[in-house]
Amino acid sequence: MFSKQAKSASKAAGRVEAPASLPSSNSADATRRATPKVASLLSADLTIEGAIEGEGELQLDGILRGDIRVARLSVGETGHVEGAVQAELVEVRGRIVGSITAKQVRLYGTAYVDGDITHEQLSMETGAYFQGRSLKFQRPPAPIQPTPEPEVLAIAAASVEA
C-alpha cells in the first residue's frame, strides 16, 4: 500500500503534460472570430429609416423601413420591417412586409409576413399569417458525366467476349 512503486505510479498519473502546440498571438484573432457574437438589439421604442447591414445577429423589436442584410434576424412580436430581408436564418414573431431570402425561415404563431419567401427550409406555426409565394432555393444541377465514345464501347465489348 505504501511501497515506492505505488508512489512513482501515482506521481506519473498526476503529471500534466504541456499541449503539443501552444496558442500563438495570431490565434487570438481566430479565438475572437470563433466566439459567438452578441445580438444587436433594436428596441420597441425605435423607428429607423434606412438599410441595415452586418455579419452578426440582429434582434428587432422596433420599426425598420428599409432593407436588412445580416447573418441572423429575429423579429420580435413588436418588431415591424418594411423592406427586403436577407439572412442565413430568419425568425419572425412580428411583421415583415417585403421579401425574405434565407436558408432557414421560421414563422411563429404571432408572425405576419406579406411577401415572397425564398428559402431552403421553411417552418410555420399554427396562427402565423403568410401572404406571398414560397420559393425553394434552386440547387445547381449535378455535373453530367461525359458518355464514352462508341469506339471505346466496341473495344470494351470485344474484350469482354474474348
83 is a domain residue: yes
Say if 120 falls within a structural domain: yes
The answer to whether residue 99 is domain-embedded is yes
pLDDT digits (tens, 9 = 90+) for 17-66: 444 444 444 555 554 555 556 788 998 999 999 999 999 999 999 999 99
Cell of 35: 466566439
Give how many domains the chain has, as a whole number. 1
pLDDT tops 80 at residue 135: yes
Q: Helix, strand, coil shares of the chain as percentages rounded to 5?
A: 20, 35, 45
CA distance 1 to 6: 7
Domain membership flag for residue 146: no
**Inter-residue contact 61 to 79 (CB < 8 Å):** yes
Count helices and strands (H / E) in the chain.
Answer: 3, 16
Q: Say whether pLDDT at 126 is over 90.
A: yes
**Please, what is the average pLDDT of the chain?**
80
**Residue 84: inside a domain:** yes
Q: Which domain holds residue 81?
A: 38-133
Q: Does any domain span residue 102?
A: yes
Is 48 domain-assigned? yes
pLDDT value of residue 144: 73
24 found inside a domain: no
Is the overall model pTM greater than 0.75, yes or no?
Answer: no
Q: In angstroms, rounded to a whole number, what is the distance separating the alpha carbons of residues 89 and 151?
A: 52
Percentage of the residues of the chain whose pLDDT score is greater than 90: 57
